[in-house]
C-alpha cells in the first residue's frame, strides 16, 4: 500500500519554524495499530489522518508517538492547509469531525482561522514544596500560581503554572524528567505561561507533554484554546497575540469567542513523501 504524506510546519510562514505535523489522507481507516506505528515512525508531536465523509467534511484523528490524542490544534491547521492547497483548492471552509466535536477551519489572509472548543482553567492548590521542585526541574524561579485545565494541552488534564514575566518563560531550560512531578498532580502535561510585555505579545507560553512522547511541543494550538480564555478575562480583551517561546517558536492570533476560541496562523510546506506499508 502506498500513502501520501505531507509534513507541514504549522504556525509558521517558513520551514523550520512553528510546529511540524505529518498529514496523511486516507480512503478509509487503517487499523489503529498501524496508524500508531506510523506516528511513532514519523516521531513528530502529531500525525493527522483524515477520511472524507462529504464535500468539505472529514473525520480527523491525531496520533502522538505513543498514543492517540483527543485534541490537536496545529495538526488540524496543517490538515486544512493541505486540503486548501493541494486536495480541494476550491474550498473556503472545511469541517473536521473529531473526538472533541466539530472543528471548523476557514481560509483566510495572513493564515487560516481555526475554531477550537474553549478550555476552562481552575485555581489549583499544590502541596508544600511542589513549586520549588518544579522550579528546580525547569531551572527557573518559582511560579506565582497554579491552575488545572481538564481539557487543555493535548486534550486531557493539564497543569498550568503561571510566572510574572515573559522573560522567565523564555529562560526555562529544557527540563529533565517531568513525569513524576506531573503524576503527583494527576496531570498528563504542563503549560507554563506569563503575561506578555506587550511588544507585541499579550501572552507567552511553553508546553511539555512527556507522557505523550513529546518532551516539549514547539507550538500548541490546543493549549491556546485554554490560555486564550484565561488571559482574555485577566486582560479584559478578546483578541490577543501570543508567542509560544519554544526553541522553534511560533506566533498565534487568538480570539476568545465564548464556547470557542479562534486561532489564526500560517503554515509552510516542508516535505512531501510517499509511505510504503
C-alpha cell at 268: 509552510
Annotated active-site positions, please?
Answer: 46
d(CA 229, CA 164): 18
Helix (H) or strand (E) holding 132: helix 130-138
Residue with cell 515573559: 166
Report, in angstroms and rounded to the nearest whole number, the Rg of the chain calculated over CA atoms: 18
Mapped onto helix, strand or coil, the DSSP state of residue 176 is coil
C-alpha cell at 171: 529562560
Q: How many CB atoms lie within 10 A of CB 8?
A: 29
DSSP state of 211: G
| Strand 203-209 with 239-244, pairing | parallel
Cα angle 71, 3, 8; round to 5: 50
Amino acid at each position: 500500500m502506498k500513502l501520501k504524506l505531507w509534513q507541514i510546519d504549522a504556525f509558521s510562514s517558513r520551514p523550520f519554524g512553528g510546529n511540524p505535523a505529518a498529514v496523511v489522507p486516507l480512503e478509509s481507516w487503517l487499523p489503529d495499530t498501524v496508524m500508531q506505528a506510523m506516528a511513532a515512525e514519523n516521531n513528530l508531536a502529531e500525525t493527522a489522518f483524515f477520511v472524507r465523509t462529504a464535500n468539505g467534511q472529514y473525520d480527523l484523528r491525531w496520533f502522538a508517538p505513543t498514543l492517540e490524542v483527543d485534541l490537536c490544534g496545529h495538526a488540524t491547521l496543517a490538515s486544512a492547509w493541505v486540503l486548501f492547497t493541494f486536495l480541494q483548492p476550491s474550498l473556503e471552509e472545511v469541517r473536521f469531525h473529531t473526538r472533541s466535536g466539530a472543528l471548523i477551519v476557514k481560509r483566510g489572509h495572513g493564515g487560516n482561522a481555526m475554531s477550537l472548543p474553549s478550555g476552562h482553567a481552575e485555581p489549583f492548590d499544590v502541596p508544600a514544596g511542589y513549586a520549588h521542585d518544579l522550579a528546580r526541574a525547569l531551572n527557573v524561579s518559582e511560579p506565582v500560581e497554579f491552575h488545572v485545565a481538564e481539557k487543555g494541552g493535548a486534550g486531557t488534564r493539564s497543569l498550568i503554572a503561571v510566572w510574572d514575566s515573559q522573560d522567565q518563560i523564555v529562560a526555562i531550560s529544557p527540563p529533565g524528567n517531568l513525569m513524576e512531578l506531573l503524576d503527583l498532580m494527576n496531570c498528563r502535561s504542563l503549560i507554563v505561561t506569563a503575561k506578555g510585555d506587550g511588544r507585541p505579545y499579550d501572552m507567552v507560553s511553553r508546553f511539555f507533554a512527556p507522557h505523550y512522547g513529546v518532551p516539549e511541543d514547539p507550538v500548541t494550538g490546543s493549549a491556546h484554546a485554554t490560555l486564550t480564555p484565561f488571559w482574555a478575562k485577566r486582560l479584559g480583551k478578546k483578541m490577543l497575540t501570543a508567542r509560544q517561546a519554544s526553541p522553534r517558536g511560533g506566533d498565534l492570533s487568538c480570539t476568545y469567542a465564548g464556547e470557542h476560541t479562534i486561532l489564526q496562523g500560517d503554515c509552510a510546506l516542508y516535505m512531501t513523501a510517499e509511505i510504503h506499508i
